[in-house]
Structure 1
Amino acid sequence: MASVSATTPLLTPYQMGNFHLSHRVLLAPLTRVRSYGNVPQPHAMLYYSQQTSNGGLLISEATGVSRSAQGYPVTPGIWTKEQVEAWKPIVDVVFSQITNLQSPISCTDKPLTLKVRGQFSTLRQLTTKEIPLVVNDFKLSARNPIEAGFDGVKIHGANGYLIDQFMKDKVNDRSDHYGGSLENRCRYALEIVEAVVKEIGANRIGFKSLSKRGILFCHAVEPRMITIGEKKDSPHSLLRIRKAFNNTFIVAGDNDKEDGNKVVMNDYADLVAYGRLFLANPDLPRRFELNAPLNKYNRETFYISD
């Protein structure tokens, strides 16, 4: 890719901690809803191997830290020996093509007393005695991806998941030391980060939308809006996070090749994550390199349970 890197910022190399990346195009984590019994299936080997590139970076689908953390049907976990063993051949296939792989660990439990529509059980807050147990789930489930062969883990703290709920003042209605002030609302997230850092080291950790504790990378999503006949951007909405975070900053949000090049060229982010374009074009970095036409993604073919 060296021959085109001068004119294509996305294809320039990048050093992320101990990981040397040959380009800055990475696979965003995309939930596939195909891990029956919460165990990764053999067909995931084909899916992830299709996305690999020499010196690239992939972030796998969100992976639950415990049975109670599962908020979607048939999504993978990483809390049992069976799950760890099932991930190993998938990781091996990716590494055979010299690609770095990170595992997002997540929890979708609801900590708050919210009213929801439909036939669901009544939600309740986590008690202060239960919170350390969930923190410990993250700690143990950070060790397991390393045992399975992953390079590191990404702590999922966005999209309405449990960590995100604690942080949002419009959602967190707790009256104890996990609610109220910004410092209190961040307490749960920081306790998880500190536990995971002690378990596997800060150089293996990324945290979506958090920029503290010396972790390896921060991954944030740029808000976008679609208007009639055009795409309306919300430029530089993440700039304050970028400036406040000292390590690798990753951005996602409906970028095409031109957008991604501008992101890197203007130092708005170090790496650019792609989702829908990667699904339609598993060889996306190579297509960017050759300036080849891209397949248009089709939402009707996006991954759902079989």
Structure 2
Amino acid sequence: MLFESFQLEHNYLKNKIVMPPMTRSRAAKGEVPTALMAEYYAQRASAGLIITEGTPISTQGRGYAWTPGIYTQAQIEGWKKVTQAVHAKGGKIFVQLWHVGRVSHTSLQENGNSPVAPSAILAEGVKVFLAKNGQEASSGQGEMVQHSMPRSLSIPEIHQIIQDFVQAARNAIEAGFDGVELHGANGYLIEQFIDSQTNKRTDEYGGSLEGRLRFLKEVTTAVADAIGANKVGVRQAPLTTLMGAIDDTPEETYIAAAKILNEIGVAYIHIAEADWDNAPEMAVDFKAAYRKTFKGALIYSGKYTVQRAEEALQSGWADLIGFGRPFIANPDLPYRLQYGLPLNEPIREKFFGGGAEGYTDYPFAENKQL
């Protein structure tokens, strides 16, 4: 089943393998996507669907050095090179729209402002990636530092961020993307509103489950209205505790969120399962509840093998499967998986920043260019 085609709304996917978002920090000055990035994504166009690295919707939404944005015309033009290169190889590509919320640093914000969040809560030990001494991405000279203390958003500011998501989605369509994925996972802004331990607001954007889900609902509705619900996906991470975002009742919370997304009619929900050692496992009953609640496509990512992927697809609770880190070192991953070929090992120190080394220079199997 994994290697069979799939119809995702208006998009014909050549297989059920998804390349999920992975930050690689290779953008040029001004957070502009580069020709090297276009080559990287085009190399991996044999995936059924590519979802780009997290892409900030505004300067305020940035949390890491050298991440490509989608809020200036220069960035849109840079992304056009990426989408054209992927489409020329017969691939499909969505951009992940990202606002990091509190997971940022004053040095990345305009005028040294504080990062923003639903509530002014610091996540101790949560770090962000900064360039050393203003170095460019090609240097690879970066460091991890504690994120800065955030301040709580006002309601007018929340409304402005919703409009920033809408404009970013429109920019994505102008740039040639097949759709957008809203980053509602891994402890960033949308999840900060959702999770009970990061949202202590007492106004309409907090205080109850309905209140905590309001931001997700309003962002998704506005983006769907702007570009079409069939071009929108949402990423969620019900059980991960990344960036200090924790919910006290994740199954109740995230099934309620899935119900909202089902009513809006988005194309898919992309569930990031915890993928570190001794991480909490997502129970089959939880996955079955997602399937019962949400009628669109369900993507699961997190340490999947071909065997686990086939079991997930055959069980009926998954439609598409994401393979993350293996795509870093294996541009032809679907081919290697289908024919049981050995996988290249990634160079971990080249994950963030740098040039072609550890990015576009991994070999294809038998020099096979797909």
Instruction: Give the TM-score, by structure 2 length.
Output: 0.75
Seen in structure 2, the aligned counterparts of structure 1 residues 260 and 297 have a Cα distance that, compared at 3 Å, is farther
Which of 208, 222, 242 aligns to 1:181? It is 208
User: Structure 1 residue 300: deviation in Å?
Assistant: 3.2
CA distance in 1, matches of 2:9, 2:350: 36
CA distance in 2, matches of 1:294, 1:232: 27
Structure 1 position 267 matched with structure 2 position 294 = no
Residues 95-106 of structure 1: pairs in structure 2 closer than 5 A: 95-106=87-98
Which of 235, 239, 243 aligns to 1:208? It is 235
Q: What is the identity, as a one-letter code, of the residue corresponding to 1:60?
A: T
User: Structure 1 residue 77: deviation in Å?
Assistant: 0.7
User: Structure 1 residue 243: deviation in Å?
Assistant: 2.3
Which of 289, 292, 297 aligns to 2:341? It is 292
Corresponding position of 1:46: 39
What is the SS of the residue equivalent to 1:242?
Answer: helix
Structure 1 position 115 matched with structure 2 position 164 = no
Residues 229-268 of structure 1: pairs in structure 2 closer than 5 A: 234-236=282-284, 237-268=286-317
- Aligned-CA RMSD value: 1.9
What is the SS of the residue equivalent to 2:101?
Answer: coil
Q: What is the identity, as a one-letter code, of the residue corresponding to 2:9?
A: G
C-alpha offsets along residues 228-284 of structure 1, whole Å, 9 cap, x if unaligned?
A: xxx995552433223211001000011011111111111120000111111121101
CA distance in 1, matches of 2:266, 2:192: 21
What is the SS of the residue equivalent to 1:39?
Answer: coil
Q: What is the identity, as a one-letter code, of the residue corresponding to 1:28?
A: P
Seen in structure 2, the aligned counterparts of structure 1 residues 120 and 162 have a Cα distance that, compared at 3 Å, is closer
Which of 153, 156, 177 aligns to 1:129? It is 156
Seen in structure 2, the aligned counterparts of structure 1 residues 234 and 249 have a Cα distance that, compared at 3 Å, is closer
Q: What is the identity, as a one-letter code, of the residue corresponding to 2:66?
A: V
- The answer to whether the Cα contact below 8 Å between 2:274 and 2:280 also exists between their aligned partners in 1 is no
What is the SS of the residue equivalent to 1:238?
Answer: helix
Q: What is the identity, as a one-letter code, of the residue corresponding to 1:97?
A: K
Q: Which ranges in structure 2 are unaligned for 5 or more consecutive residues?
A: 103-116, 125-144, 237-256, 356-370
Seen in structure 2, the aligned counterparts of structure 1 residues 107 and 305 have a Cα distance that, compared at 3 Å, is farther
Residues 118-157 of structure 1: pairs in structure 2 closer than 5 A: 121-157=148-184
Structure 1 position 19 matched with structure 2 position 26 = no
What is the SS of the residue equivalent to 2:25?
Answer: coil
Corresponding position of 1:75: 67
C-alpha offsets along residues 119-154 of structure 1, whole Å, 9 cap, x if unaligned?
A: 765421100111110000000000001001000100
- The answer to whether the Cα contact below 8 Å between 2:101 and 2:192 also exists between their aligned partners in 1 is no
User: Structure 1 residue 91: deviation in Å?
Assistant: 0.9
User: Structure 1 residue 92: deviation in Å?
Assistant: 0.6
C-alpha offsets along residues 175-225 of structure 1, whole Å, 9 cap, x if unaligned?
A: 111111110000011111111011101010001125311100100012345
- The answer to whether the Cα contact below 8 Å between 1:105 and 1:156 also exists between their aligned partners in 2 is yes
After TM superposition, where is structure 1 displaced by more than 4 Å over at least 4 residues in a row? 116-121, 231-235
CA distance in 2, matches of 1:121, 1:300: 25
Corresponding position of 2:131: none
Q: What is the identity, as a one-letter code, of the residue corresponding to 2:265?
A: G
Q: What is the identity, as a one-letter code, of the residue corresponding to 1:72?
A: Y
Count, aligned residues:
294
Which of 316, 332, 342 aligns to 1:283? It is 332
- The answer to whether the Cα contact below 8 Å between 1:226 and 1:232 also exists between their aligned partners in 2 is no
CA distance in 2, matches of 1:225, 1:130: 35
Instruction: Give the TM-score, by structure 1 length.
Output: 0.90
CA distance in 2, matches of 1:233, 1:115: 27
CA distance in 2, matches of 1:255, 1:173: 35
What is the SS of the residue equivalent to 1:178?
Answer: coil
The sequence identity of aligned pairs, in percent, is 36
CA distance in 2, matches of 1:277, 1:184: 38
